[in-house]
Amino acid sequence: MGRAKSSALVIGAGGHVGNAIARALLAAGWTVTACGRRRTPPLNLRNLPLTYRTGDVEAPGQLDRWIDHHDLVVDAAAPYPMELIFPGVEPKQAPFAAAEVRTARIIEAIKRHDVTLVYVGSFISQVAPRTAAQRLRARLIRWTLPYFEVKELIESRLLDASRRGLRVILLNPTYCLGPWDLHDRRVCTIPLLLSGEIPGWITQMLNVVDVRDLAAAALRALATERFGEPLLISGHQISTYDFYSLICRLGGVKTPRFATSATLAMIGSYLLEMGYSVLGQQTPIITAGMMMATAIDYLETGSALKGLGIVPRPLSETVRDAIEWYRMIGYC
């Protein structure tokens, strides 16, 4: 990237992707500072040779204090609004306004300190519905789930800043899988499946990328200065049935036999989640994940991994390592 490896700040290093990138940077000889809101380092950061700093990215001056004396900033904690919007139910927060303010703060801080930014977005910004049915489904999903438009808003602001000289790498991964995940267990397919909490599978294609391959892509994109160019990081295209069968075979359990269409599954899940929301209770099912998965149907098949010289590791290896991690942390 034009300057020697030095120090990197990873915002969201306790998250799945941020953790993998932090580990890859350490392995490549970088000095790494991880930061997050937790007072103590999360499980996936413990025993790593890095500095952990706690704080809130929204607090005045926090970004400047964190970024000072670093050469690289990795933003793996950008807004990730997965809460659905229901008729007659007021949203808990304004996701678009919050994303706008946070992105502006990141851009201004990066400019002030003249550092490079690696931003981890989503494949969602790279999809384009091609049929009337896909366009209708996309409109309905966007109406209920702010995730899509928030991610596109953030990326558009970063691309605009890049055209004005900001050194930014934009990564757009598909469904990341592998070790070191500490997401809410309700959105972790593998432990839910192995524990018998997923009754069936949907007739849906998926695209799965190993989180370690994504981290390798981040470092390769830095080394080759792929600034201002959204990089779609996709991996293995696989049906939900085949994906579930692989997980169950490697995990030693039976594959669910029940099947339904993605549309019916989404409608049922949405209605159930709306009922829980009206009652003020936490839903046992996260509909947003299913909504995001449907966009795989109109995702272009090309991936930046090949252009960066990275060969995706076998999906069986990814799943096996993920199972081992989830069992170690008690998720299944």
Q: How confident is the model at residue 87 (pLDDT cuts 50, 70, 90)?
A: low
Average of pLDDT values for 146-152? Answer: 84
Which of 226, 1, 17 lies closest to 121, judged by CA?
Answer: 17
Q: How confident is the model at residue 275 (pLDDT cuts 50, 70, 90)?
A: confident
- The DSSP code sequence of 86-99 is -TT---SS-HHHHH
Tell me the pLDDT tens digit for each residue of 156-208. 999 999 999 999 999 999 999 999 999 989 889 999 999 999 888 888 889 99
Residue with tokens 């201002």: 228
Q: Is 131 exposed, middle or buried (0-12, 13-18, 19+ CB in 10 A)?
A: exposed
Delineate the domains of the chain, giving CATH numbers in brackets.
7-328 (3.40.50.720)
Longest dimension (CA), the chain: 56
What crossing angle do the helices spanning 287-294 and 262-278 adopt, rounded to 10°?
150
Q: How confident is the model at residue 5 (pLDDT cuts 50, 70, 90)?
A: low
CA distances 332 to 197, 242, 273, Å, are 11, 21, 24
| Contact present, 145 and 139 (Cβ < 8 Å) | no
Q: 60 Cβ partners below 8 Å, 6+ apart?
A: none
Whole-angstrom distance, CA of residue 103 vs CA of residue 309 = 30
pLDDT of residue 1: 42
Whole-angstrom distance, CA of residue 45 vs CA of residue 42 = 6
| Contact present, 236 and 209 (Cβ < 8 Å) | yes
| This prediction's pTM | 0.90
Q: Percent of the chain having pLDDT more than 90?
A: 61
